[in-house]
Structure 1
Amino acid sequence: MKLPFIVARAFKLQNSILARYLMRNVLVLLSAVFIVIGLVVFGNQLVLVVKESLKEGIPVADLLPLVGFNMIRDVVLILSLSLLLAIILSVSKLYKDSEAIVMNSLGLGDKHFMMFIQPLVIFIFIFVLLLTTVVVPWSKQQKGLIIARSENASEFSFIKEGEFQEFKNGDIIFYASKVSDTDNAKEQNMEEIFIYTLVNNEPVITLAKQAQKYTNLNTNSVYLRLKNGTRYHGFPSDKNKKILKFKLYDLQIIDGEVQKAINTVTKVESKSTSELLFSNKLTEIAEFQWRTSQPLSILILSVLGVLLGKTSPRSGKNLGVLVGVVAFIVYNNVLLIAKSALERGESSPIVGLWWVHLTMLLLIFIFYSIRHRKFTQFV
């Protein structure tokens, strides 16, 4: 009577040890792969953001937050790919070292390997779900605020001394021979000012000895206060040119209403998940399904990883990794295509992105059947 109980207990303990062994290997490889891929992706992101900040005049203070927000956005895909590769490599190592053959002889196969790694997979699933539904939308909102603020306000906050600069896509040509900052971050003093603008398709040239950038605290509008200058409506050679001399002239750079609008980001990607949940707009439905699809793909890819990791001792070492990377790229690209189709109204919200996951599960089932016929000697 005691023998079956002892055997069952030993088998349960054996499973527990094997589960911890496999999960530890997956965790170690996951960390290593994530670090390698992360260094490459985040390094490229840093270079691109720095280059863009120099081009667009984004403040240095906003540089690190922008890099951080881009990293948060990319963590989901990097973590998904890293987990898939870690599972493939861990299971493949068991077969390469013939450990899996011994496990198979004890009645442990793919289904057991899938169960062994489930605690780690479920933890990452919850973590990614939190990222896609809460953290990433928040980061995109903050990034949108920084970019909008930079595009509307920082152009004139970083005027280079002694250089002609284009603003507003070339609608304004600005030159200042001398630029000095003040104690107030919202103010700048300039000397020997040249401004070229188009007003109703008519060129307007403004010359001034001094200028000061300031913000009206009541309206939140940003102005250039020009002192002791002249405005030319039309080129000096034009017969119908108008000349206006002034002692003080306030040129509005940014309307206060525009500044207020900056604080209200309406992009779908930056909206909270709760707002998207009960929305009837196709773009918002597509965004909601995309956010839930990313963590869902973690569960599906974990199953695929176990199957791709199952190899024979004579097969290619990197074949499973190569197939895994290709499957990951195709899977995510098809999800993006389905998302775009839903946004354009070319597919039903009921079908949405779900057909991609169902198709992937069907392909995995077919692959599972094929693999088990091929490796019946291991099961």
Structure 2
Amino acid sequence: MKLIERYIAREIMLPFTVVALILIGLFASFSSARLLAGAVTETLGIAALIKLVFLKTLIALEVLIPIALYISVIIGLGRLNKDHELIVMRTFGLSGSRMVLTVLAVAIPVGILSGMLSSYVRPWAYSESYILDAQAKAELNTNRFQAGRFYGSEKSGRIVYVRTKDEFNKEMQNIFHFMRKPDSSEIVFAQKAHQIQPTAQEPRPNIQLSEGVVYQLTNAATVDDVIHFKSMTYFIDNDTALNYRRKAAATRTLWESDQPRDIAELQWRISRPLATILLALIAMTFIRLSPRQDKTERTYLFAALAFAAYYNLSGLAKTWVEQGVVGNVPGVWWLESLMLLALITYAWIASNKKQPRQP
């Protein structure tokens, strides 16, 4: 890479590093505040909170890194344009193609990094964070139960009472559990109970109950059911767990699936490197080579609107594949195809546009 190209690459990489660190810090702070507001530390402790914030930040990197690169290209080239350095470089033979290759020299490694994070780091982080999330959010999490107190949830219609609790062995004695359902109710009495922590093989949190009885009260029935048990596993509702499993699935596993949701997740991961590179090239189009000072505020506004449009369309593209609105082909790739077509059109117009004569 020649001196001029190295100089331009440095002007892009410096703001990229700063912006990436700022975005990561802001996201980590936001996640910490949100988890603290949800009283996660009362359930899991500060060490688990730090780990959960770290995992969520890793998940967000596949989005934060393309944003940082997009912003850094605009900032770096915008500064060179504002100081008329790009005009001088163009005068001394810096062509548009060389400028594009210089940006690609920065964008391609960043795109590969984004793809690695999306395909390998993100699934692992989702798997680990789900385990912690399940422990923190489970309504029947025994860690936050205290003896002699009622715990109720108006949203789920659940009431739990524990008479005594062994903190050392994490075991409860004399448990009462009431669950209200739309057309029935359920009452459970048990002598002992302890919670089984979620694992990668079984991500659903569950409670092991011993020596008890279940009363199933149905509104429409004249006779209610009574079930005596020596041991019973009580699984907690896991509607979100199924969604997390797909995101936590290994990329190789997704390749073998024919389910629309799995295909959408796989295509999303694969598209991250290409989307990162295309966004960097799109950021170049907001820099106008002009001997006059660039209108920075308007440039940033248009750039923000363009990225917001891309971000919303990317989520829409993935949702369409998940719901079967769009088939496996074009899948989520129609958005990247539109971006590439827009760049080709812009390059064709720029190459055919007559340059104004300098006075």
- Settle same-fold status: TM greater than 0.5: yes
Tell me how far 1:303 sits from its aligned partner: 1.3
Q: Would you say 1:349 and 2:349 are equivalent positions? A: no
Distance in structure 1 (CA, Å) of the matches to 2:17 and 2:23: 10
For residue 318 of structure 1, the aligned residue among 289, 297, 301 is 297
**Equivalent residues of 1:88, 1:309 under 8 A apart:** yes
Q: 1:109 to 1:154 in 2, by over 3 A?
A: farther
**Equivalent residues of 2:268, 2:318 under 8 A apart:** yes
Distance in structure 2 (CA, Å) of the matches to 1:318 and 1:202: 61
Q: How does 1:48-63 map to 2 (within 5 A)?
A: 48-54=34-40, 58-60=43-45, 61-63=47-49
Q: 1:291 to 1:376 in 2, by over 3 A?
A: farther
Q: 1:345 to 1:189 in 2, by over 3 A?
A: closer
Q: After superposing the two structures, state which structure 1 stretch, 43-52 or 164-173, moved more.
A: 164-173
Give a deviation string over 1:99-156, Cα, whole Å, max 9, x none: 1111111221332122123332221111111111111112112222333455558622
* Structure with max Cα Rg: 1
Distance in structure 1 (CA, Å) of the matches to 2:74 and 2:185: 66
Q: Would you say 1:304 and 2:282 are equivalent positions? A: yes
For residue 268 of structure 2, the aligned residue among 290, 295, 313 is 290
Identical aligned pairs, as a percentage? 20
**1:76 maps to which residue?**
62
**Equivalent residues of 2:172, 2:194 under 8 A apart:** no
SS for the counterpart of 1:314 is: coil
Q: Would you say 1:138 and 2:136 are equivalent positions? A: no
Q: 1:33 to 1:43 in 2, by over 3 A?
A: same
Q: 1:139 to 1:304 in 2, by over 3 A?
A: same
Counterpart amino acid of 2:333? W
**1:5 maps to which residue?**
none
Q: After superposing the two structures, state which structure 1 stretch, 141-150 or 171-180, moved more.
A: 171-180
**1:359 maps to which residue?**
338
Tell me how far 1:309 sits from its aligned partner: 2.5
Distance in structure 1 (CA, Å) of the matches to 2:241 and 2:333: 34
**Equivalent residues of 2:141, 2:195 under 8 A apart:** no
SS for the counterpart of 1:117 is: helix
Q: Which runs of 5+ in 2 are unaligned?
A: 197-204, 218-222
Q: 1:232 to 1:359 in 2, by over 3 A?
A: closer
Distance in structure 2 (CA, Å) of the matches to 1:116 and 1:98: 18
Tell me how far 1:79 sits from its aligned partner: 0.9
Give a deviation string over 1:178-234, Cα, whole Å, max 9, x none: 75621x3xx24679x76545699467596x9xx754469xxx97446699xx99999
Distance in structure 2 (CA, Å) of the matches to 1:231 and 1:121: 61
Q: Would you say 1:272 and 2:250 are equivalent positions? A: yes
Distance in structure 2 (CA, Å) of the matches to 1:27 and 1:263: 39
Q: 1:371 to 1:160 in 2, by over 3 A?
A: farther
Tell me how far 1:359 sits from its aligned partner: 1.0
Counterpart amino acid of 2:344? F
SS for the counterpart of 1:144 is: helix
SS for the counterpart of 1:362 is: helix
Counterpart amino acid of 2:234? I
| RMSD, aligned α-carbons | 4.1
Counterpart amino acid of 1:334? L
**Equivalent residues of 1:145, 1:265 under 8 A apart:** no
Distance in structure 2 (CA, Å) of the matches to 1:139 and 1:277: 19
Q: How does 1:27-46 map to 2 (within 5 A)?
A: 27-46=13-32
Q: Which runs of 5+ in 1 are unaligned?
A: 1-14, 235-239, 242-248
Distance in structure 1 (CA, Å) of the matches to 2:48 and 2:9: 40
**1:244 maps to which residue?**
none
For residue 21 of structure 1, the aligned residue among 1, 4, 7 is 7
Q: 1:94 to 1:203 in 2, by over 3 A?
A: closer
Distance in structure 2 (CA, Å) of the matches to 1:32 and 1:215: 44
Q: 1:120 to 1:176 in 2, by over 3 A?
A: same
**Equivalent residues of 1:144, 1:265 under 8 A apart:** no
Tell me how far 1:327 sits from its aligned partner: 1.4
Give a deviation string over 1:160-191, Cα, whole Å, max 9, x none: 45543126954442345775621x3xx24679
**Equivalent residues of 2:160, 2:177 under 8 A apart:** yes
Q: 1:144 to 1:203 in 2, by over 3 A?
A: closer
Q: After superposing the two structures, state which structure 1 stretch, 113-122 or 26-35, moved more.
A: 113-122
